[in-house]
Amino acid sequence: MPNKHNTDRRHHIPKMKFKVQNWLAYETVLRRRGSLTLWTEDAALAEWQGVGPSVFVRIAAQIGNCI
């Protein structure tokens, strides 16, 4: 194994020890991680519904540019 060579001479960085103190807040943050809330205007939603694929791509690109 190449990783086992020179193990006695390699510098090892110890793992950081982290203990969760407030589990309720920690779990709340984990639930919200990756959550993305978008607010759109009613006009944008009206234009979004009932359109073909080519128009959908244009509208999605415009919304993505605004983000």
Closest CA to 56 of 67, 66, 44: 44
Q: pLDDT tens across 29-41, in order?
A: 888 887 777 777 7
Place 24 in a pLDDT band, splitting at 50, 70 and 90. very high
Q: Is residue 67 part of a domain?
A: yes
Q: Is residue 45 part of a domain?
A: yes
- State how many domains the chain has: 1
pLDDT at 3: 67
**Cα 65 to the chain's mean position, in Å?**
18
Q: Is residue 9 part of a domain?
A: no
Model confidence, pTM: 0.30
Q: Is residue 31 part of a domain?
A: no
Q: Is residue 3 part of a domain?
A: no
The dihedral over CA atoms of 6, 9, 11, 12, expressed in degrees to the nearest 10, equals 60
Q: Is residue 49 part of a domain?
A: yes
Q: Which domain holds residue 52?
A: 38-67
